Amino acid sequence: MYITLNMTTKTNICYSFFMVDIFSDWLRANSLDSQFLKRNLVDHPLPIFLIGLGAGGGDRFLDLSGEAAWEMVAEALTARIPELTSLIRTVRMRVPKSFEANEERGGRAYTYDRGPKSLPFVHCPYKGTASDVLTVAHEFSHALQIVASRRTAMPPMARELCAFVGERLLLTWLRDNQPSLSPFMETAWLADNSSYLGTSLQSLVRALEDGSDVYDYAWNYPVARLLAHAVGYEWSSGKTALLFKSGAKAPSHLAEFYERAHILPQRYVLPALTDTGGTVANLYRQIGALLLLDLQRQGADTFEEAIGSRYAHLFQAMQGRNVFLATDREQVPLGYILWQCREGGKPTGFERRIACAQRLPDLLTAFENHCPQAAAELRRTTPDNIVGDFVS
C-alpha cells in the first residue's frame, strides 16, 4: 500500500535480478534469517489483538486537510520522540510534498530518496479519510528516517519499521490529545493489518517455503509490522530516535528482537462473555474471567492468595462496583482494574491484571470511558501507591 522508492534500493533490485534466489539476497540485505521469520510468522500464531478483531464501520472521512494532517503528525512525533525535534521540524517545513493523486503511479503513496545532497520528496494522495491520515504518518516517518540517517541507506525492512513506528506513535498521541479521532484511526490501522498481515504475509510465506527469483517489496511489511508494535510499547524515545538515525546499522539495533523466541507474545485467549440472559450465570462468568486473568499474571509462578479468599474479594468488589472488566469487540476479556474506596468514596489501592501487556492502552482507554472518576484518581496516583502488578 505504501511504497518507498530509494535510489540505492532500485540499484540493489536491478542487481538482485541476476541472483539465483532473490529471497536469500533479501534476507542478507536485511540481516534476517529464515528461522526467525518462521518462528514469528508461520509456526507461532499471530497475536489476536493484531488480527482477531477486524475493523468495522468503513474508512471514515475526517474534517482534516492534508496539510493539517501533516502538521498533526509533526506535533505527535515531536511529543513522542523529542530527541528528533529539529529533524522533525526540517521534515515538516522543508520536505517537498504533494497530496494530489498521481495516476502514473496508480494513486499510491511513496517517499523518494533523492540522495544525500537533497531532501526526500513525499507523494501522498489525500482524500481526507482516517486511512489517509495514517498514510501521511507513514510517509512523514519515511522522510524523517531518511533525513535522520543521512550518511547511509537503511535496509528496506527497517525503513518500513520506522514508518510503522510513526503510525503507532501517532495513534498513542491521539488517545491523549485527540480522543474524538482515535477510534476512527484505530479502526483504519486494524483494517491495514488485513493487507500487511494478510496478502503481504502470504507472499512472504511463499518465498520462505519455495524461494523466489522475483523481488516483492511486500516481504518487508509483516515483520516490520510486528517489530513496530514491540518498539512502540517497549522502547524509550531516545532508543527510538537512535533507530531513525541508524541507517545501515539498523539491524544491530534490532538484534534484541532477533534473539527472542517471539517478537510478540500470543495473547492468552479467554472464552467470550456471551450474554445468556441470566444474571447469575453472567456474574459467574465474569468472576471466572477475573480469576483466570489472575492465574495468567505475568511473572508469578503461583497466585499467593488462596482461591477462596480471592474469590470472596473479587465478589465483594463486584458488589461494591469497584472492579472494571474490559472486553474487546468480540466480548473476549482483555483485563481488569480493581480498586478500594476510602471514606467518602475516593478510590485507592488500584490493581490490574491483563492477558497481554500490549493491550494495556486498550484497557486504560475503556476504563477512562466507563469509570471516569476512578480513572481520574488513577492518573493522579503515583507508581508507589499502586499495588499488584499494575504498570503505569
What is the band of 299 on the pLDDT scale with cuts at 50, 70, 90?
very low
- Whether the CB-CB separation of 356 and 268 falls below 8 Å is answered with yes
Assess whether pLDDT exceeds 60 at residue 385.
no
With 60 as the cut, is the pLDDT of residue 68 above it? yes
User: What pLDDT sits at residue 298?
Assistant: 46
Q: How high is the pLDDT of residue 306?
A: 72
pLDDT at 54 over 70: no
User: Taking every pair of C-alpha atoms in the chain, what is the biggest distance, in angstroms?
Assistant: 76
- How confident is the model at residue 161, as a pLDDT? 98
Q: Which pLDDT score is estimated for 128?
A: 95
**pLDDT score for 71:** 98
Identify the pLDDT of residue 284: 82
Identify the residue whose cell numbers are 546499522: 249
Q: Look at residue 116 and tell me whether its pLDDT is greater than 70.
A: yes
Query: At 350, phi and psi to the nearest 5?
Result: -70, 140
Give the pTM.
0.71
Residue 214, φ and ψ in degrees, nearest 5 = -130, 130
Average pLDDT, the chain: 83
* pLDDT tens for each residue of 264-284: 865 555 666 766 666 777 888
Residues above pLDDT 70, as percent of the chain: 81
The pLDDT score that the predictor gives to residue 277 is 64
3-state per-residue secondary structure call for the chain:
CEEEEEHHHHHHHHHHCCCCCHHHHHHHHCCCCHHHHHHHHCCCCCCHHHHCCCCCCCCCECCCCHHHHHHHHHHHHHHHCHHHHHHHHHHHHHCCEECCCCHHHCCCEEEEECCCCCCCEEECCCCCEHHHHHHHHHHHHHHHHHHHCCCCCCCHHHHHHHHHHHHHHHHHHHHHHCCCCHHHHHHHHHHHHHHHHHHHHHHHHHHHHHCCCCCCHHHHHHHHHHHHHHHHHHCCHHHHHHHHHCHHHHHHHCHHHHCCCCCCCCCCCCCCCCCCCCHHHHHHHHHHHHHHHHHCCCCCCCCCCCHHHHHHHHHHHHHCCCEEEEECCCCCEEEEEEEEECCCCCEEEEEEEECCHHHHHHHHHHHHHHCHHHHHHHHHCCHHHCCCCCCC
Q: How much is the pLDDT for 373?
A: 86
Which of 12-21, 135-144, 153-162, 272-281 bottoms out in mean pLDDT, i.e. has the lowest? 12-21
Residue 231 CA to its chain's centroid (Å) = 8
pLDDT for position 328: 75
Q: Are 161 and 227 in contact (CB under 8 A)?
A: yes
Are residues 149 and 161 in contact, defined by beta-carbon separation less than 8 angstroms?
Answer: no
CA-to-CA dists, residue 319 to 53, 125, 289, 324, angstroms: 31, 53, 16, 12
Out of 8-12, 44-48, 311-315, 384-388, the most confident range is 311-315
What average pLDDT does range 132-141 have in this prediction?
A: 98
pLDDT band at 105 (very low <50, low <70, confident <90, very high): low
Q: What is the pLDDT of residues 307-361, one digit of tens each?
A: 778 888 888 888 888 999 998 766 778 889 999 887 777 888 888 888 777 678 8
* 307/75 Cα distance (integer angstroms): 48
Q: Which residue has the higher pLDDT, 190 or 111?
A: 111
Q: Phi, psi at residue 288, to the nearest 5°?
A: -60, -40
d(CA 201, CA 220): 9
Nearest to 184 by CA among 222, 128, 228: 128
Check residue 12 and give its pLDDT.
Answer: 37
pLDDT at 62 > cutoff 90:
yes
How confident is the model over 170-207, as pLDDT tens digits?
999 998 899 889 888 988 998 898 899 999 999 999 99
Does 17 score more than 50 pLDDT? no
Q: Please, which residues bridge with residue 348 across strands?
A: 340
Write out the three cell numbers for 153: 541507506
Residue 274 to residues 277, 278, 281, 389: CA-CA distances in angstroms? Answer: 9, 11, 10, 28
Domains with residue ranges and CATH for the chain: 2-258 (no CATH), 279-385 (3.40.630)
